[in-house]
Amino acid sequence: MNAAVVDTVPSPVRLKAVAAPGQPEPTPALEQLYRGFESELLVPLWTEIGGLMPPHPRSQAAPHLWQWSRLKALAHQAGEIVPVGRGGERRAIALANPALGGRPFATPTLWAAIQYLMPGEDAPEHRHTQHAFRFVVEGEGVWTVVNGDAVRMSRGDFLPQAGWNWHAHHNAASEPMAWIDGLDIPFAYYTESQFFEHGRDAISDAERGTPDRSRSERLWGHPGLRPLAQPDAPQATPLLAYRWADTDRALADQLALEDEGHAGATLSPGHAAVRYANPATGRDVLPTIRAEMHRVRRGACSRTTRETGSSVWQVFEGAGSVRVGEREWRVQRGDLFVVPSWQPLQLRCDADAASLDLFRFGDAPIFEALHQHRVQVDPA
Ligand code: GTQ
Ligand code: FE2
C-alpha cells in the first residue's frame, strides 16, 4: 500500500478506551490496541454493541408534524415563481425529517412531498425505478398519464404507480392543484439501486384526454373479477386508481356493521381501516410501500400500536389529536406526520367531529419480505 495515501486519508475511526461493564480498564496497552484498530480502519463490536444491536428499534428519525395550510401556501408561492419542466422534472417539495441531517427524506425509507401544478401546466414524462403513488387530499383537474393511460386525480383518490413505468402529469383545469407524492426514494438512495430516464418531451394529444375512467380501471377495477387476457400476478398493482367513493363505502360499512353488533368488522371499537390491495394478488399495491385509509369514529380512539419500519400519515378529513412517541399534536385536514420505527402511535377523534379520516403509507412490505416485520398492539 502507498504510505503517502494512507497518511493523507484521515481515519474516520476514533476509539475511546473506556471501562464498560465486562470490559478491560483503560491501560496503555489497551490504548495502543485501539490506536492499532484506528490506523487499520477496524472497529471492535464490544464498543458498538449498544447502538448496533439495541433490544428494539431506536429510530434516528423524529416524530414531526407539517401543517397543510403552510405547505399549501409555500407550494402556491413556488407555483408563481418556479417553472416546471425538463431538468427539475416536478414542482415537488419534500418533507425533510428534522433528525435526518437535512436530507429531503420524511423517514429513513420514505419520501413524501407536496406537488403543485398551475392551470394548463405539464410535468414532463420520465421513469425511474423508485416506486411511487399520489394521494389527493383536495381538488381535482390533474390527470397523471402512466404508460399513455390518462388517470383522473380527484379528492380522496389513491393512485399507485410502480417503478419503471413512464409517467407525466398535466393540469387540464383552470385552478391550481396540489397533491402528495409518496416514493421509496430514501430506500433506493441508501441501497444505491436507482435508475432514471427521460421520456418524450410532450405527450400526444390523445394522451391529453380527460377520461373519467382510465384503461387500467376499465380492465382491473371490477371487485373480485380478473381479466383473463392480463398477466397472472403482477408484482405491483395493475390498477392505477382507487377511488374515494369505494374507500369511503368500505369504511362506512365497517362502522355500520360494528353498530349492528359485529365487533370483528373493525380493528378496535370505533376504528375502521382498509388496505389498498393489488387486485391480482391481494397483496400490497407496491413492492416497498403499503397504503391504507383509517377512520376513527366521533369521540373514539385507536389502540396504541408500534410497528417495525416507518410511516407517514395525512389527515384526510375531520379533527382530532395524534400521539407519536413523546409528541402529541392537534390535527386537521391535510396535516402530515411521521411515525418512526417502533414509536407508539395513538389516534383520537374529537367529540364534535363526524370522524377522523387518515391516509397512511409505510414501508412494511420491505420488512415483511425480509421476515423482519413486527407489530405490537396494546390491549384495549
Ligand atoms: O411525480 O414523478 O415527489 O419523480 C418525486 C419524484 C414526484 C413524480 C416526486 C418524482 C415525482
Ligand atoms: Fe416520477
| DSSP string of 26-85, one letter each residue | P-HHHHHHHHHHHHTT---GGGTHHHHS-SS---SS--EEE-HHHHHHHHHHHHHHS---
pLDDT at 8: 53
Cβ–Cβ under 8 Å, residues 241 and 159: yes
Does residue 46 sit in the same domain as residue 73? Answer: no
Q: In this structure, are 335 and 367 located in the same domain?
A: yes
8 A C-beta contact, residue 131 and residue 288: yes
Looking at the structure, tell me whether residues 79 and 211 fall in a common domain: yes
Q: What is the pLDDT of residues 181-203, one digit of tens each?
A: 999 999 999 999 999 999 998 99
Length of the chain: 380
Domain shared by 258 and 155, yes or no: no
Q: Which amino acid is at 164?
A: W
Q: What ligand is nearest to the CA atom of residue 84?
A: 1
pLDDT of residue 3: 43
Decide if 233 is inside a domain. Answer: no
| pLDDT score at 10 | 59
Is residue 187, in this structure, part of any structural domain at all? Answer: yes
* Residue 47 shares a structural domain with residue 123: no
Q: In this structure, is residue 283 part of a structural domain?
A: yes
Cβ contact 190:108 at 8 Å: yes
Classify residue 85: in a domain, yes or no.
yes
Q: Which amino acid is at 285?
A: V
Question: In the listed set 29, 51, 73, which residue is the last one of a domain according to the structure?
Answer: 51
Structure confidence at residue 349 (pLDDT): 98
Residues in the chain, pLDDT under 50: 1-6
Q: Do 74 and 191 lie in a common domain? A: yes
Beta bridge partners of 349: 320
Question: What pLDDT score was predicted for residue 169?
Answer: 97
Integer-rounded Cα Rg, in Å, for the chain is: 24
Q: What pLDDT sits at residue 6?
A: 46
Ligand 1 pocket: which residues have CB below 6 Å?
90, 92, 113, 115, 128, 167, 181, 183
- The rounded Å distance from CA 182 to ligand 1 centre is 8
Whether residues 29 and 82 share a domain: the answer is no
Q: Which residue has the cell 415483511?
A: 368
pLDDT tens per residue, range 225-263? 999 999 877 888 999 999 999 999 999 999 999 999 998
The residue whose CA has the least distance to atom 11 of ligand 1 is 90
Instruction: Say if residue 71 is in the same domain as residue 204.
Output: yes
Residue 59 in domain: no
DSSP 279: T
Backbone angles phi, psi at 175, to 5 degrees: -120, 155
> What's the CA angle centered on 253, arms 295 and 271, to 5 degrees?
30
Does residue 225 fall inside a structural domain? no
Residue 142 domain flag: yes
Question: Which among 204, 220, 236 is the end of a domain?
Answer: 220
- Measured between alpha carbons, how far is residue 90 from residues 85, 117, 128, 225 in Å? 7, 9, 13, 36
Q: What is the pTM of this model?
A: 0.94
Q: Which residue's alpha carbon is nearest to atom 8 within ligand 1?
A: 90
Position 11 scores a pLDDT of: 62
First to last CA, the chain: 63
69 inside domain: yes
Helix (H) or strand (E) holding 259: helix 244-259
The CATH code of the domain that includes 314 is 2.60.120.10
Protein residue closest via CA to atom 10 of ligand 1: 90
Q: What is the DSSP string of 158-211?
A: EEEE-TT--EEEEE-SSS-EEEEEEE-HHHHHHHT---EEE--SS--TGGG---
Residues near 97 by beta carbon (within 8 Å), at least 6 away in sequence? 61, 62, 64, 103, 105, 106, 107, 338
CA geometry: angle 313, 314, 318, nearest 5 deg? 125
Q: Whose C-alpha lies nearest to ligand 1, atom 5?
A: 92
Kindly list the distances between the CA atom of residue 2 and the CA atoms of 6, 7, 30, 142, 380, in Å, as whole numbers in the listed order: 7, 9, 27, 59, 65
- Say if residue 187 is in the same domain as residue 333: no
Does one domain contain both 287 and 329?
Answer: yes
For ligand 1, the distance from its centroid to the CA atom of residue 12, given in whole angstroms, is 35
3-state secondary structure of 19: coil
The amino acid that residue 68 corresponds to is W
Same domain, 212 and 252: no
| Cα–ligand 1 centroid distance for 90 (angstroms) | 6
How many domains does one find in the chain? Answer: 3
Domain encompassing residue 99: 64-220
The answer to whether residues 132 and 215 touch, using CB atoms and an 8 Å cutoff, is no
Same domain, 118 and 265: no
Residue 184 in contact with residue 288, Cβ under 8 Å? yes
